Amino acid sequence: MTDSPTSLGSPDSPTRVLVLNSGSSSLKYQLLDMADASRLAVGLVERIGEADPRLVHTPRSGGKRERTGGFADHAAALAAVSEELAADGLGLDSPALAAFGHRVVHGGSRFGEPVVVDDGVEAEIERLVPLAPLHNPANLTGIRTARELRPDLPQVAVFDTAFHRTMPEYAARYAIDVATADEHLIRRYGFHGTSHAYVSRKCAALLGKDPADVNVIVLHLGNGASASAVAGGRCVDTSMGMTPLEGLVMGTRSGDIDPAVPLHLQRAAGMSVDETDELLNKRSGLTGLCGDNDMREILRRSDAGDQRARLAFDVYIHRLKKYIGAYAAVLGRVDAVAFTAGVGENAAAVREAAVAGLEPLGLSVDPERNTVRSDEPRIISQDGARVVVAVVPTDEELEIAQQTFALVGTENVRKNEIRTPLS
């Protein structure tokens, strides 16, 4: 039906990648053209298999379209996505489609790179389900559905954990009994890897340097939040651990906590394992501290004198500062600190507070530059600062598409410098 990946160099070679992020009842998608890194369509199917499912589709030309009903499962949802794309002349049966790129949350110790999915890869993703019980099964459903729709096309799995696979063992190991840890696959894996990879590379480009020559601390501050220390383009430490619960204070997750606290809650408060899990993942973090997980609302309340919101902000910032300091120590030399994701890209007050007092580490922001609003990567420290502080908007879908395309592409494609717009 379509050209094989080895014939990608021809003028008619396929350059489109459909990025799929499959949740248990949702399917997010973006169709990208890697010839110029443009987005041809984006959309979301939600509440799949539930009473009132809905598809929202937006082609590049604009004009958002909605459909409701009829999505009993992911296969039906993907079929509907295919119809919507076909209506824009972008059907999934088009020879222009080079591959599917699937976001997969957990790649365990096995996957440090994206891979073309075959039965063995599927089985391995399945084997890792105990480490990501909510996400990996949903990601697998997306992969299987797409493989059924286009068995002839490469289906590439891009793992959230992969970028962190380069961490040295002393950073990845927890200091617990080694045999127990190994038997249960317990170690630091880290998440948000596509974002940390994309942002650290973009940050190097912003500095006009090769990623291999730059040490950067990436602060991905969304509803989930994580920090990473990236030395010469390779992750050497990251704040999320075996699961995304560890590290920074997040919207609803506690981040770092004494491991005895959940034990105490189970013993002293009679909480079950599931209740403890729910407390730490859903009712903690900013929500637990002040009832809101949205930084906009916390800043508004705090400005209005709300003490709980102020405390939540202070706890959030204190943790962030500790990680900046820790990763400065891990890296030795820091060239840049990059803020990204919803909070990092938009909340000037968070950026200002996070580096306040860190002048001895070479860190400060220029108040005017910090408050400029833009979708572009930008430097917010003063010219000549020892450490560049930057805002670098993340783009996980583009990173997945790029990694997918790089894997299925040929030397010809690379010679044509199709990747240039993304560097």
Any known ligand binding at 310?
no
CB of residue 34 vs ligand ADP: minimum separation in angstroms?
Answer: 23
Residue 11, class by beta-carbon neighbours within 10 Å (0-12 exposed, 13-18 middle, 19+ buried)? exposed
CB of residue 266 vs ligand ADP: minimum separation in angstroms?
Answer: 29
Any known ligand binding at 293?
no
Question: How many Å apart are CA 287 and CA 266, to the nearest integer?
Answer: 21
Hey, which residues between 131 and 190 contact ligand ADP (CB under 6 A)? none
Contact 115, 157 (CB under 8 A): yes
Among 25, 166, 223, 410, binds ligand ADP (CB under 6 A): 223
Any known ligand binding at 223?
yes
Among 82, 166, 266, 346, binds ligand ADP (CB under 6 A): 346
Name the residue nearer to ligand ADP (CB basis): 248 or 343: 343
Hey, which residues between 347 and 366 contact ligand ADP (CB under 6 A)? 347
Q: Which residues are catalytic?
A: 160
Which residues fall within 8 angstroms of residue 341, CB to CB, at 6 or more apart? 195, 220, 221, 222, 225, 394
Compute the radius of gyration of the chain from its Cα atoms: 22
Hey, which residues between 229 and 258 contact ligand ADP (CB under 6 A)? 251
Residue 337 contacts ligand ADP per CB under 6 A? no
Any known ligand binding at 103?
yes
Question: How many Å apart are CA 399 and CA 22, to the nearest integer?
Answer: 16
Residue 295 contacts ligand ADP per CB under 6 A? yes
Only one of the segments 24-32, 113-121, 122-130, 288-296 lies at the binding site for ligand ADP (rule: CB under 6 A); that segment is: 288-296
* Residues counted in the chain: 423
Only one of the segments 75-83, 170-178, 292-300, 377-385 lies at the binding site for ligand ADP (rule: CB under 6 A); that segment is: 292-300
Tell me the CA distances in angstroms from 380 to 169, 326, 369, one per residue in order: 34, 22, 5
Among 342, 362, 393, 409, binds ligand ADP (CB under 6 A): 342
CB of residue 341 vs ligand ADP: minimum separation in angstroms?
Answer: 4
Give the residues lining the site for ligand ADP (CB under 6 A).
Answer: 222-224, 251, 293-296, 341-343, 346-347
- Which residues are part of a known binding site for ATP? 28, 220-224, 294-296, 342-346
- Which residues are part of a known binding site? 21, 28, 103, 220-224, 294-296, 342-346, 396
